[in-house]
Amino acid sequence: MSRQGRAAALGAVVLALGMTQVPWAVPLAMAGTANTGGTDDGAATATAGGGALGCAAERITLLAEGAPVVFDIEIADDPEEQARGLMFRQSLPREAGMLFVYSRPQPASFWMKNTMIPLDMIFIDDSGRVLNIAAETVPYSLAARSSEGVVRAVLEINGGLAAELGIGPGTQALHPAFEAAPEGLRCPAE
C-alpha cells in the first residue's frame, strides 16, 4: 500500500471517530515507526512502515485519548508462549509489549510469578475495545489480575505507561486479532 493509501486509511479512522485535530507526532515518535503529515482541513494523518497503523501482526495501535500509540509486539498465541509470557526478562523497551491472543474470547487471569518488571495488563475484547487494565502490577506477585469480562487478547506493556499515554477502558485497539472490530476500525484479512 502506498504512503497516500495508508494515510487515507488512517484518515478514515480519524473521521469515523469524529476527530478533527490530533497530536500524532509525540505518541508515534515513541514507537519510532511513524511518518506524519496533514490534510487541507487541518486534520492530521499518520502512517507507519509496513501498512495501515495497527494492521500488521507485529504491531498494535491504541487510539488513546484521540492520539494513536503504537507498540511493537511479540505474539503469544500458543499455550507454551502464554505460560512463559514476559517471565525472567530484566527489561522491556518502552515502545514494546507482548500480546496474548486467544483462539476465542474468554475470561483471562494473570499473575506475575517470575516476572521481574512491573507491567500494565490491558484486557481487550473481541471488538478491540479495552475492558480494563491491571496497572503497575507487582513483580513476582502471585495475586491474580483478571479481566472484567471475556477478552480476545491481553496486551502487556511497561508498568505505568497506560496511564501516562491516556490508555483506559473504552480505548480502541487496532490489530488483525480483533475480527469483530467496528467496520471502520477492522484490519483487512491477511
pLDDT for 35-60, tens place per residue? 223 323 222 223 333 344 658 899 99
> Which pLDDT score, from 0 to 100, does residue 53 have?
61
> Which pLDDT score, from 0 to 100, does residue 66 have?
63
Q: How many residues are present in the chain?
A: 190
32 in a structural domain = no
Q: Which set of grid coordinates corresponds to residue 54? A: 495497527
Q: How many domains does the chain have?
A: 1
Question: By 3-state DSSP, what share of the chain in percent is helix, strand and coil, each rounded to 5?
Answer: 20, 35, 45
45 in a structural domain = no
34 in a structural domain = no
Q: What is the DSSP letter of 170?
A: T
> Which pLDDT score, from 0 to 100, does residue 189 have?
66
14 in a structural domain = no
Dihedral angle, C-alpha 74, 68, 56, 119, nearest 10 °: 10
> Which pLDDT score, from 0 to 100, does residue 36 have?
29
71 in a structural domain = yes
157 in a structural domain = yes
> Which pLDDT score, from 0 to 100, does residue 15 have?
37
Strand 67-76, strand 130-134: pairing: unpaired
CATH of the domain at 131: 2.60.120.1140
**Residues of the chain falling short of pLDDT 50:** 1-52
117 in a structural domain = yes
43 in a structural domain = no
> Which pLDDT score, from 0 to 100, does residue 55 have?
84
Q: How far apart are CA 21 and CA 40, in angstroms?
A: 12
pTM: 0.74
> Which pLDDT score, from 0 to 100, does residue 72 have?
96
Q: How far apart are CA 141 and CA 114, in angstroms?
A: 8
Domain that holds residue 141: 51-190
> Which pLDDT score, from 0 to 100, does residue 104 have?
95
- Among residues 62, 4, 1, 77, the alpha carbon closest in space to that of 31 is found at 62
